[in-house]
Amino acid sequence: MTRLAVCAPLRLEARAVRRGLDGDGVVLRTGFGARRSRAQAEKLRGGDAGLVAITGTCGSLAPGLEPGDLIVATEVSGPGISFRCPSAPLVAGELRRAGLRVHEGQIATVTGLFDAGERARAAARGAVAVDMESSYLLAGAVGRPAIVVRAVSDTPQRSLLRPATVTGGIAALRSLRLAGPVLARWAAAAGSRQVLLAGPRSFCAGVERAIEIVERALDGAAADATAPDGAAPVYVRKQIVHNTHVVSGLEQRGAIFVDELSQVPDGATVVFSAHGVSPAVRSEAGRRSLQTVDATCPLVAKVHAEARRFASDGYLVALIGHAGHEEVDGTLGEAPGAVALVQTVEDVALLRPADPGKVAYVMQTTLAADEAGVIVDALLERFPAARGPGSDDICYATTNRQLAVRAIAAESDIVLVAGSANSSNSRRLVETAQRAGTSAYLIDDTGDIELDWLTGASTVGITAGASAPPAMVSQIVAALAGLGPVDVSERVLATESIRFGLPKEVRQA
């Protein structure tokens, strides 16, 4: 482990952190205020510490913060200077998993903790807390990984100047002690590493189209609004794509996500998600005069059409997919009674077609190709005359991303896959990397990365599911760079240029 220096201004703060570290790293009592902190920064510049963690107590500025809460600084501002702390999300996530109350944000270094005017100016600049040392100490850590973790000891409502609230200081010291093991894990994970980016990764054409459809529907509703209280609402049935960040961003723009059409008022505008819907859902929308906009991915619509065609020709249609996925639910609804879900090789033995010579199969578009291939082999072994789709049902984007992640997995110690837990294609990327013999993890954001995963990992592969925003990959790389120098390279196996047209309902928006 690279030598860790932990800076704490006061004796009680240093003692609390030292107890938590349990011998990992050296704890320096740096002294209170600007003069002592500047002197310690000079020692840090000439010292042998490879990493610097700054701890201690702080005063909160933001509402909702309580004594004992931890603030992990994403940025530290001081007189005429500012420092970024890129590994903050990694430490914050680890502290949350340890059961602590954690907030991320800017900490401002001020000359007086109880100067109301100075606190107000810091809050106006976006700071959530203030201290009197961090920016001076960080100046001595330039060029090395550094993190700032402060514990709230007082709030505007509970100042330490009031004797009745001295318990705030006790709560802060307890949190600093509990944060010690996380600082040790942060230090163990630090170091230089290579980062391999899979290409292609992130958004596919179907996802980009679905998001643009919702955005245009919102723009059109705003432009056409006649109600005095603003734009008419735009509803979206289910998540437009399976990613929490995408959904949250569209909610902030005004989209209202619902699980069922019963939650949509009669006559309102509703967007069907990229995963498609069954004919029963479309019929219900028609009966209730809903203004529908269909964001179904054209490749999912192709599977629906295949299922209908096979069923109309008298075939039993084996749908290879995962129960409960919205795409599967929509396909099953295309021909109730004629489509049977097949999730495993064992399910093939349970099929009971009226005519063994009339069996067909279709697939969920986001499956792992090798896993689906095993089931197809089992189908063909039992039903040699079984018919499949005219072209692959597993979409080009899913296949490309699986091939790309397999390539980086071969060179990586671990693989990180950006994507939400309910994203089928993202989960398949994790499984693909694991089948290649590499540890792989699904993360919704950088806070999900566990520091122990990174300890000893000199090469980290990164990809993103087809529904994950490209910005997520940039954020992961930035967080890793906060642990030490990173050498980023890309392994591109395919270049995607496909783009799908928009439905007429939003084309002019």
CA 219, CA 437: separation in Å to the nearest integer? 47
For residues 217 and 201, the answer to whether their CB atoms sit within 8 Å is no
Residue 266 has pLDDT above 60, yes or no: yes
**What pLDDT shows up at residue 161?**
45
pLDDT interval class at 370 (50, 70, 90)? confident
Which stretch of DSSP H or E encloses residue 178? helix 167-189
Mean pLDDT for the chain? 93
Residue-wise pLDDT for 450-467, tens only, equals: 999 999 999 999 999 999
Residue-wise pLDDT for 149-181, tens only, equals: 999 998 876 554 444 345 678 999 999 999 999
Which stretch of DSSP H or E encloses residue 181? helix 167-189
CA 208, CA 210: separation in Å to the nearest integer? 6
Task: Select which of 327, 334, 346, 381 is catalytic.
Answer: 327
Which pTM value belongs to this model? 0.92
Residue-wise pLDDT for 416-437, tens only, equals: 999 999 999 999 999 999 999 9
Q: Domains of the chain by range and CATH?
A: 4-189 (3.40.50.1580), 193-202+396-492 (3.40.1010.20), 206-298+503-507 (3.40.50.11270), 302-382 (3.40.1010.20)
CA 76, CA 83: separation in Å to the nearest integer? 5
Residue 406 has pLDDT above 50, yes or no: yes
Q: Examine the residue annotation and report whether 208 is marked as an active-site residue of this protein.
A: no
Q: Which amino acid is at 496?
A: E
